[in-house]
Amino acid sequence: MTDTTTSPALDELAAQLTGDLLLPGTDAYAELATPWNLAVPSRPIAVAAVADAEDVQHVLRWASRTGTPVAVRATGHGAVDALDGVVLVHTGRLAEIAISPTGTARIGAGVTAQALSAAAAAHGFAPLLGSAPTVGVVGLLTGGGLGPLARSHGVCSDRVTAFDLVTGLGDLLHVTAETHPDLFWGLRGGKGALGVVTAVELALLPDDVILAGSVFFDGADAAVVLHAWAEWCPGLPDAATTSVALQRLPDLPFIPAPIAGRLTVAVRFAWTGDERAGREALAPMLRVAAPVLGGVQPMPTSAVGAIHGDPVQPTPAAERSAMLRGLPRAAVDALLGAAGPQTECTLLLAELRQLGGRVAHAPEAEDLFPGREVAFAANAIGISAGPAAAATERDAAAVVERLRPWSTGGRVPNFEPTVDPDAILATYGRPSIERLRALVERVDPSCVLAAAAPVRRIALG
């Protein structure tokens, strides 16, 4: 094994790249090595700011020769470890966006959700994406992706038609359901275990007008609102996607006064059918208590990233999630007991997203996204920095623990990235993990992909 911390080894790699190999101690290194989730320290031995897919091939082949692990990042929303001893492939410069007149898109691995939404809207289309505009699209899609239109249009990765993938061997493959069906299965839900995605092709939606928004209620009404929501949403048709969140947003100038510095309950709602029918569907929730802010309004499909109001600036965050088989009254009470008005909870939000609808439909080509059969996804997020970090970790864990009686034991891949082999096994189940592991060993025999290491550590048998 080559000592890749020495200048000759890194000089060899740098000489092969069209892009830049950035080393510790430079401003450029610090900028790209720092993930969007500021709670995760990042200390790779170098950052390869790649210019194209060929650069990625050079990095992976060099890594295979030298025995150096490689990680990949565009924005770092899903950062999970410090990357000690790892070369980081940063794909931010792979910013290609091509929109066809027929409603398909080809995008590079550095494209964010907000950039794709803007480009598609200019052509009368909209991508199916998640709730956060600042995430990298490729990272979202390799984790499946549950967005504000999930029940009406399905998992975000259901719209993918092709990936350009550089394997651990350094081979560049165009992966489709026809050319490489096994890899196409694993790339939609399996995150980065099979290689570095340099580009993706996907089908877009028409940028139709939908009815959507968030309605906020006072925290004192949390119990009545959550119980009403749990009874209301199972009767909704697939045209509706909804979630509810207990929020404790900080008292800052850019946060509206009615929801700043206090507990509120946000009911999010998106309706893809007739506007009048959508307002009638939402009406029962508007009668359970007096809203303090918000409402629903017609908006283009391309604007759904505004519904949840996710942070747009890098944030130190801790996150825990769970997949729930159902949401009986006892489960709602459990969530209130962890994050409701009678607690000293420190979390920014504790949310429930209703699944079902198109999420529960098997895609045309099978995929690895776990939990299509579950009814709800729970998510707990808080600031993890300084003195607040320990309390945030405690409170996020408490939400998941309180909901354990109704949990599958798994998690949504994009909601709680992890390198814990036991957690990965619980999320995907043994048959899928055995299949994924066989693919990992085929496309990465030298074990250079850092994202594949936890899969390899899962005990089989």
CA-to-CA distance for 13 and 285, rounded, in angstroms? 59
Average of per-residue pLDDT values in the chain: 95
Predicted confidence (pLDDT) per residue in 329-349, tens digit? 999 999 999 999 999 999 999
pLDDT at 4 over 60: no
Per-residue pLDDT tens over the stretch 211-229: 999 999 999 999 999 999 9
Q: Which of 175, 130, 181 is nearest to 153 (CA)?
A: 130
pLDDT of 459: 75
Residue 298, CA atoms < 13 Å, CB-side half-sphere: 8
Above pLDDT 90, what percent of the chain? 92
pLDDT greater than 70 at residue 352: yes
* pLDDT band, very low/low/confident/very high, at 460 (cuts 50, 70, 90): confident
pLDDT at 3 over 50: no
Q: Is the pLDDT of residue 2 over 50?
A: no
pTM of the full predicted structure? 0.95
- Would you say 92 and 271 are in contact if contact means Cβ atoms under 8 Å apart? no
- The stretch 349-365 carries a mean pLDDT of 96
Residue 189: which of 454, 367, 409, 344 has the closest Cα?
A: 367
Letter for the amino acid at 335? L
pLDDT digits (tens, 9 = 90+) for 418-440: 999 999 999 999 999 999 999 99
CA-based R_g, the chain, Å: 22
Q: Residue 109 above 80 pLDDT? A: yes
Q: How large is the average pLDDT for residues 73-85?
A: 92
Contacts of 282 (CB under 8 A, 6+ apart): 215, 269, 271, 296
Per the DSSP assignment, residues forming a β-bridge with 323 are 377
- Residue type at 290? A
pLDDT tens, position by position, 12-31: 999 999 999 999 999 999 99
pLDDT of residue 80: 87
Task: Tell me the pLDDT band of 1, cut-offs 50, 70 and 90.
Answer: very low
For residue 449, what are the CA distances in angstroms to 25, 57, 223, 329, 368? 25, 13, 46, 44, 19
- Sign of the torsion angle spanned by Cα atoms 411, 385, 420, 168: positive
CA distance 82 to 103: 39
Going by C-beta distance under 8 Å and a sequence separation of 6 or more, which residues neighbour residue 285?
215, 225, 228, 229, 232, 267, 269
Candidate from 36-40, 163-167, 237-241 with smallest mean pLDDT: 36-40
CA quadruple 281, 232, 223, 334: dihedral positive or negative? negative
